Structure formats: structure tokens, C-alpha cells
Structure 1
């Protein structure tokens, strides 16, 4: 009974935090992680009926929220590049980010729904700050900052997905990772090539 009340209290506080509208203090990724943690089978007791439990491990769910957050950021920043980029290669790279990551995000969201994993609804605080900072830049300054961010971001993405390929327990999530990893590696190499052209 205590666990049910604790879960209900946590769910209420998550809803309260989300409805505050204070974006600076509300990280959508952290909120999704908290919801998934409460739904992890190891954290639920037999009497709990308030939520559908995860059909994957808590660690697998954490990977999904991280990947979904990163994928969403790639699309948002890609749209910014479509609007603001001056260099044709930077604009083209932004197009590729929107197209490739939109497809991957849809596939990941479908997988997440099938496994009762909550994914972030909006960009995490860190990604939103990057977007806000880039929004203030123009011309060559924007192009350079965007591509530098894409190189750094894809280095992190490749590492995240390589680790996930070794450590994920869910076979469908692992198949998604193994299918997506070559595209992320290609994005990393492409972003480095574009960065070299801007020097």
C-alpha cells in the first residue's frame, strides 16, 4: 500500500512539475526517466495498477529516453540550419539531419510505445540551451557553431549507440541500434568534412 501511495505521489508531482510551465527547471528527459523508473517492473509491487509496467529493463528505457532526446535535438537544430545556414554544405547537412533523424525518431517512438516507455515530449534543458544559443547567431558564425556542435553531438551519439549495441537486453531495441549506428557514423564523418570546409 505504501508503494502505491508513493507512486501516486510521484506521478502527481511529475504532473505538477510539467504543468508549471517553467522550462528552465523542467527537463523533459529527466521527467521521462522518472516516469520510466516508477514503471520499471523491479520498482512496482503486485498491487500496483496505476501504470503499465515497462516491458524492458530500466537501463534499456534510459537508453531510449537519451536517444529520443538526442534525435529530437538533431531535427530541431537541423531545421534551424535550414533557415539560418549561409554555406550550402551546412544547409544540406541540416536537411539530412531533419530527414534521417525524423525517420529514426518515428521508429524509436513506435518501439517505445510498444514497450510502455515514456519518451521526452520536448527538448531537454541542455539541448534547448544549445538551440537558443544557435538561434542568436547568423552567417558564418552560425555555420561554424552548428557544425562544431554536430561533430561533438555525433561523437556522443556514436558512443551511446555502440555501448547500447553491446549492453541492451531487448532484442528489438538492439536491432534498431544496429540498424541506426552506420547512419550515425556516416553523419559524424560528413559533419567533420563540412567542418574542414569552413576553416
Structure 2
């Protein structure tokens, strides 16, 4: 009986040691996996502004403003090449110039915050650009000016929101740019009124 009891105790102890060893090995593997994982946003080149946007309203604004600026610059370039009316060509040149200046200021804020600006526009906006670039004559002028009205309405709403930001760098930048955006919007409306598609 004593021999049987001792044998049973040895078997139980051995099973316990095996189980503990297995758990310790698992813990070591988990620790190794976690230590090899890179933290989110640890890119040494700077955190992408759009990646941080869901957590940081300032980064979200910077990302959206940068994408809008890329779109406006491209539309300025296309407008100067393809517009039929000289007034629209002149407007397009103003758009490109003003948004390049705005982009420089935005890049300075992003650099100070270690944020990386997006370099491409969204697929939806690219689709509008593609449609625009395929048009000619009055169709181009009408579509272009109406696009500018819509884009600047969106921009004004974005910058008005940012002008109330507790982040002073962002709020000062937004307040400085708002008059220019409002002027662009007014000019676009005046040009678009000449090309109301429902009256052609």
C-alpha cells in the first residue's frame, strides 16, 4: 500500500511540474511576441497625420487640410490649362498660388508636431479630377467653377471648426486662412453663376 501511494504522489507531482513548465514556456513566447511588436505610430519619420486623426483633433484637421490643399493645387493647374474663359484661368492661377502658400504654413505646423502630411488625395476626389480633366470648353468651365464652389464650402466648414481649437497653432492658422477661403468661395460663385447648367 505504501509503495502504491508513493508512486501515485510521484505521478501527480510530475504532472504538476510538466504543466508549470508548459505555462512558463507559453508566457515566455507571449512576452517575446509582444516585445517584437512595434507600437502604433512609432515611425521615426513622424506620425502620419491621418493615422492619429481619430485620437487627435488637431492631427485630423491637418490631414484633411493637406488633402484639400493637394486637390486645390491640382485644380488650379488644370484650370489654367483647360479653362475657356480668361477669368477662370486667372482664378485658377490665384487658387494654385494661395493654396501653395497655405500648404507651406501647414507643413510647418505638421513638422513642429512630428506629423507626416498625406501626399495623395482620396479616391473619390481623384475621380472628380479625372472627370474634370476629360472635359473641354463650356462643359469644363461649368464643372470646374461648380466644383470650386462645393470644395470651398467644405473647406470653410473645416477651417471654421479648427478656428475654435484649443490648439493655438491650429486655431491661428485656421483664422488666418478663413478670409482667403471665403474670398475664393465668393469668386467661384460669381463664376459659376455664368455657367448654370440648367439655363444652357
TM-score by length of 2: 0.73
Q: Which residue of 2 aligns with 1:172?
A: 169
Please point out which of 27, 30, 33 is paired with 2:50. 33
* TM-aligned CA distance change 1:84 to 1:107, over 3 Å: same
Secondary structure of the structure 2 residue equivalent to 1:169: coil
Q: Which residue of 2 aligns with 1:198?
A: 195
Which structure has the greater CA radius of gyration?
2
Please point out which of 21, 26, 39 is paired with 1:7. 39
Q: CA deviation at 1:6?
A: 5.4
Q: CA deviation at 1:107?
A: 0.9
Q: How many residues align?
A: 160
Are the aligned partners of 2:88 and 2:191 in contact in 1 as well (CA < 8 Å)?
Answer: yes
Q: CA deviation at 1:91?
A: 0.8
TM-score by length of 1: 0.74
Q: Give the alignment of 1:91-102 within 5 angstroms.
A: 91-102=89-100
Separation of aligned partners in 1, 2:92 and 2:99: 10
Separation of aligned partners in 2, 1:80 and 1:162: 27
Separation of aligned partners in 2, 1:144 and 1:158: 21
Are the aligned partners of 1:154 and 1:188 in contact in 2 as well (CA < 8 Å)?
Answer: yes
Q: Deviations over 1:108-163 (max 9, x none)?
A: 01111111122111222122111111111111101100100000010111111111
Which structure is higher in RCO with an 8 Å CA cutoff and minimum separation 6? 1
Separation of aligned partners in 1, 2:102 and 2:188: 18
